[in-house]
Amino acid sequence: MPTDPTSLKQAAAELAAKQVQNGMIVGLGTGSTAYFLVAALGQRVKAEGLRITGVPTSEKTAAQAQSLGIPLSDLDHHPQLDLTIDGADEVERNTLNLIKGMGGALLREKIVASASTRFLIIVDESKLVDHLCSHSSLPVEVIPFGWQATERRIRALGCTPTLRQKDGKEFLTDGGHYILDCAFPPVSEPAELERDLNNTVGVVEHGLFLSMASEVLVAGASGVNVLTRK
């Protein structure tokens, strides 16, 4: 099996796509791994006549799905989803706690995942860590108004925040917010950090996805392994 990250992501995504069945309402994630997932589902729709309805987590994912002929809807019409499939920036072994949001869609991703019966994550083996924030910064979505004051409050939690930029300007989420990429030391008590961020004025959402993943497909040199939450 190929060992480069792109091929590993594609292998995990294609295996995840096989779990989608006719009639399902499926949350479609955002990011480089989710891109392969949507592509694989589009191929099944075209080649097999797979009948699904997708609920995208970003405008970018919606555009890709539409280009592939995947019918789309939203949570107003489908408040309960059968399955959401998405990638992750880090996966904590044993707990399957996640960091997500490097693709900039963490708020919509969390809303869609919370409305799903199953939340399936697809990653390559480089994303597995013993503690969250071992390799990845934690994205925190904040209101643009007074964001500097919010940044100071977040910095006081023990991190170094950096305002995300794109093309020389502040990156804007689909909801019109900024993202602070927060470099924390490895986090041993993510539930405490989650509580502190939830209680921080100006924070819209954060990339800690705790106790949400049903299972994780991990692609590595030996194939794709399935991890379940203990």
User: If DSSP codes are grouped into helix, strand and coil, which group holds residue 102?
Assistant: coil
Whether 104 and 23 map to the same domain: the answer is: yes
pLDDT tens, position by position, 69-90: 999 999 999 999 999 999 999 9
Mean pLDDT value across residues 92-105: 96
Whether 143 and 92 map to the same domain: the answer is: no
Whether 81 and 116 map to the same domain: the answer is: yes
Whether 10 and 102 map to the same domain: the answer is: yes
Q: Which domain holds residue 172?
A: 138-202
CATH no. for residue 24? 3.40.50.1360
Q: What is the pTM of this model?
A: 0.95
Instruction: In whole angstroms, give the CA distance from residue 123 to residue 98.
Output: 11
pLDDT-derived band at 2, boundaries 50, 70, 90: low
The whole-number pLDDT of residue 192 equals 98
pLDDT at residue 58 greater than cutoff 60: yes
Non-local (6+) Cβ contacts of 203 within 8 A are 140, 141, 142, 150, 154, 197
Whether 149 and 186 map to the same domain: the answer is: yes
199-202: Cβ within 8 A, 24+ apart: 200/150, 200/153, 200/154, 200/157, 201/150, 201/153, 202/142, 202/143, 202/146, 202/147, 202/149, 202/150, 202/153
Catalytic residue, from 14, 109, 141, 205: name it.
109
Instruction: In whole angstroms, give the CA distance from residue 186 to residue 199.
Output: 21
* Residue predicted with more confidence, 1 or 227: 227
pLDDT tens, position by position, 195-222: 999 999 999 999 999 999 999 999 998 8
pLDDT-derived band at 1, boundaries 50, 70, 90: low
The whole-number pLDDT of residue 5 equals 81
Whether 44 and 125 map to the same domain: the answer is: yes
The whole-number pLDDT of residue 4 equals 82
Structural domains counted in the chain: 2
Whether 106 and 218 map to the same domain: the answer is: yes
pLDDT tens, position by position, 143-183: 999 999 999 999 999 999 999 999 999 999 999 999 999 99
**Strand runs labelled E in 100-159:** 116-124, 128-129, 138-142
Whether 151 and 124 map to the same domain: the answer is: no
Mean pLDDT value across residues 123-135: 96
What does the mean pLDDT of the chain come to? 96
User: If DSSP codes are grouped into helix, strand and coil, which group holds residue 228?
Assistant: strand
Whether 118 and 222 map to the same domain: the answer is: yes
Whether 81 and 179 map to the same domain: the answer is: no
CATH no. for residue 171? 3.30.70.260
The whole-number pLDDT of residue 221 equals 85
Whether 124 and 167 map to the same domain: the answer is: no
Whether 103 and 22 map to the same domain: the answer is: yes
DSSP symbol at 69 = T
Provide the percentage of residues in the chain whose pLDDT is more than 70: 99
Is 109 a known active-site residue?
yes
